[in-house]
Amino acid sequence: MAIFGKKNKESDAETPGAATTDGTTIGDAAEAAGGFSPQKARAFFDRAKTLHETASHEYAMQMWLSGLRWDPTSVEGFDGFLKSSDVFVADNPKKKIKPTVEAKGAVGRYIDALMAFGLRKLDPAAALKACSAASDVGVREVAKRIGKHALTLALNHDKKPKKDAFVKLLDVLEKAEDFQSAAQAGEAACKLDPSDGELQARVRNMMARATMNRGGFEDDSEGGFARNVRNMDKQLELEQADSYAKTGATKDAIITRTRTAHEENPDDMPTLEAYGKALVERGKPADYLKAMSLYTQAHKTTGQFRFRQRSGEIKIRLTKRTALQLKQAAEANPDDTAARDKYAAALKTLREQELEELRLQVENYPTDLPLKFELGKRYFEREEYNEAIEQFQQAQNDAKLRRQVQNMMGQALLKLGGWEAEAVQTFRSALDGLSDLEGETGMELRYGLMVALQAFADKDRDLDAAKEAEKIAGGIAIKSFTYRDIRERRDAIKALVKELGGG
């Protein structure tokens, strides 16, 4: 049983000896399922990666879950499963599958809940159940991530929010020890029922726990809270760290303090993060390079992508700074061809870096649909329309972004050529249910539909499509005579209608 005390360095998960919410340990839960073996899990994970790369996504999902049956603490397994399920669902939106893994107890429930969540990521109930199951197994990092996703769905996508749903979210997020998100869920529940005084008191307590957790006060050791309150130096540090307008001396002091703390305990990730944040906030060239080095090493040590992401963000910031300097030099000397070329090269490098960072983020945060939309827009700008459409097809499942995404997807289909009918269908879908057809969004989508109908009518010699495009053009012109190229577009469509025998 000694293996249960080891920590998996490739994940943020707790050690297998950590207590689950019912007082047992993750190791106990795994034993109830039939045993715990990271070595066996690794074999399944390696197989899952190969299957994913060869487009056997359904089988890959089963292999990821098989690995999680042997190592439920693995965040790598969780992320891999989500990545495969994302592609599977995009290709098979209505197909339902069940886990082929046989597992008992909390681990079995976790695997079943993950499969349901993987197939229905926009279902608040599936997300809530998966979050609760992850908490029951004791994998708090996964529980927090799914819990935040479930909270976002409940806050932004639920047309008829219910108090009970937010109370359940409060329960599971508290269980996952994400007190900040739990407080958000509680506040939403209170808005739906302002008369529940007991719930309001619970939310206030949750806010206090979140504040204490951020300030380092949640200390169960003897005299922990009182000791921190008495420590005036600590209070000064917190005030300095929270200040929005830090002086140069304050920034230097914070760096000195956080560097010392990091050097004394180099394996402590919160200490490293505090040091890295202080370096970035001071923002000297050497500070950025040092912070990149810290985050790169932390990523290698822990396998946690967030450190790689921060290093990439700094790299982009430095490239932007260089591009800005070169732009200013080129504008100051408009006849200097070499200066213009240097700026163009720097801008190209910046765009490549931004694209690569977005790719990595989408790969590592497969349920983040706004990220997929941003990546799709970058592909569109590069005229890589197939790749753009692939991202848009997934991002349109975000209800808040649906119309924006479908607008871009319709344009991408038109740019491809030969997909005019599909572009028409996409713009119609974006307009479906939109009440304000003369607002900014309505005008843009109607214009897109008009262009798609014109292209379809011209290619397929379809008179009805040309007449519909003409009608839309007239409506837009009546609303705004100077909207884009509407006058020229209307004339061209009227000529097309006449050419097709319509008058």
List pLDDT tens digits, range 467-502.
999 999 999 999 999 999 999 999 999 999 999 986
Q: Mean pLDDT over residues 204-228, rounded? A: 56
* pLDDT value of residue 246: 52
* pLDDT value of residue 357: 93
Give the residue with greater pLDDT, 416 vs 196: 416
Q: For residue 494, which amino acid is it?
A: K
> Whole-angstrom Cα distance, residue 502 to residue 494?
9
Note whether residue 209 is domain-resident.
yes
Residue 25: helix, strand or coil by DSSP? strand
- The position carrying tokens 């344009």 is 411
- Predicted structure pTM score: 0.54
- How many structural domains comprise the chain? 5
Q: Is there a single domain that holds both residue 170 and residue 148?
A: no
Note whether residue 62 is domain-resident.
yes
Q: Is there a single domain that holds both residue 277 and residue 170?
A: no
Task: Compute CA 148 distance to the chain's CA centroid, rounded to the nearest angstrom.
Answer: 11
Residue 19: helix, strand or coil by DSSP? strand
**Residue that terminates a domain, selected from 157, 180, 196:** 157
Q: Is there a single domain that holds both residue 269 and residue 317?
A: no
Which of 8-12, 110-114, 148-152 shows the lowest mean pLDDT across its residues? Answer: 8-12
Note whether residue 387 is domain-resident.
no
Note whether residue 357 is domain-resident.
yes
**Residue that terminates a domain, selected from 303, 336, 367:** 367
Note whether residue 53 is domain-resident.
yes
| Parent domain of 333 | 291-367
* pLDDT value of residue 388: 96
Q: Is there a single domain that holds both residue 93 and residue 16?
A: yes
In DSSP terms, 19 is beta-bridged to 25
Distances (CA, A) of 120 to 123, 124, 201, 398, 453: 5, 9, 34, 12, 34
* pLDDT value of residue 341: 94
Contact in structure between 499 and 479 (CB atoms under 8 Å): no
Note whether residue 79 is domain-resident.
yes
> Whole-angstrom Cα distance, residue 472 to residue 491?
13
Q: Is there a single domain that holds both residue 72 and residue 124?
A: yes
Q: Is there a single domain that holds both residue 98 and residue 1?
A: yes
* Confidence category of residue 102, pLDDT binned at 50, 70, 90: confident
Which of 153-167, 230-244, 247-261 shows the lowest mean pLDDT across its residues? Answer: 230-244
Q: Is there a single domain that holds both residue 33 and residue 55?
A: yes
Distances (CA, A) of 145 to 5, 18, 160: 24, 19, 24
Backbone angles phi, psi at 177, to 5 degrees: 65, 30
* pLDDT value of residue 310: 92
Q: Is there a single domain that holds both residue 268 and residue 194?
A: no
> Whole-angstrom Cα distance, residue 341 to residue 336?
9
Q: Mean pLDDT over residues 367-379, rounded? A: 92
Contact in structure between 207 and 183 (CB atoms under 8 Å): yes
Q: Is there a single domain that holds both residue 103 and residue 192?
A: no
> Whole-angstrom Cα distance, residue 11 to residue 19?
17
> Whole-angstrom Cα distance, residue 142 to residue 202?
24
Contacts of 311 (CB under 8 A, 6+ apart): 291, 292, 295, 296, 299
The mean of the pLDDT values for the chain is 83
Q: Is there a single domain that holds both residue 307 and residue 435?
A: no
As a residue count, the chain comes to 503
Note whether residue 309 is domain-resident.
yes
Most confident among 58-72, 143-157, 446-460 (mean pLDDT)? 446-460
Note whether residue 397 is domain-resident.
no
Q: Is there a single domain that holds both residue 140 and residue 239?
A: no
Q: Is there a single domain that holds both residue 12 and residue 153?
A: yes
**Residue that terminates a domain, selected from 326, 346, 367:** 367
